[in-house]
Amino acid sequence: MIALKVAEVKHFMGKLLLNEVFDNFLVSDVEVYTANLFKINGRINKAWFDEVEKEENKEKEYSEWKDLKGMIYQIIKGNKTPHSMKIVFQLSKDNTQRVVERVGNGFSLADVDGLFLNIRYEKDELTLITGTSMKVFTLNKALEHEWDQNVKQFLKHYEIAFEEV
């Protein structure tokens, strides 16, 4: 787990809300605190869909950011910044599999509950915190370190300046 402070909040928010940079991340949880507190659980409610839609989306457990970011943008747009905001992203199973394969060390996708990226905005500061959740007990931190490095590379690739805190 690492914590990264984003240097340019406005630049990051543009990438988050107006570009496609984060579109393929899965959304675990969102909280936006403006005049009211808005909470979104990213878990898909399969009972809401008809049979055709259920079949089309049977593999999906969480919504992708691209499907929710417009709603979040509508909540926070305006002259005032939110009081606070928290977004919990989860890496997709396919991308998690790629990270697991790069690490090796006997890990399998079945061992991993999720690789997470927590975005926290409060008091004009934006912090990113990585997280790794395992289904099995292990003292081996190779997967966690690989995920941390992947996040740093991702941010550098999209020209998002940060410092480790």
Q: What is the pLDDT of residues 20-65, one digit of tens each?
A: 999 999 999 999 999 999 999 999 888 888 888 877 777 788 999 9
| Residue range(s) defining the domain that contains residue 83 | 3-164
Q: How many domains does the chain have?
A: 1
Q: What is the pLDDT of residues 71-129, one digit of tens each?
A: 999 999 888 899 999 999 999 999 999 999 998 878 888 899 999 999 999 999 999 99
**Residue 140 pLDDT more than 90?**
no
What pLDDT is attached to residue 31?
A: 97
pLDDT band at 161 (very low <50, low <70, confident <90, very high): very high
What pLDDT is attached to residue 56?
A: 78
String of DSSP letters for 26-58: EEEEEEEESSSEEEEE-B--GGGS-HHHHHHTT
What pLDDT is attached to residue 57?
A: 73
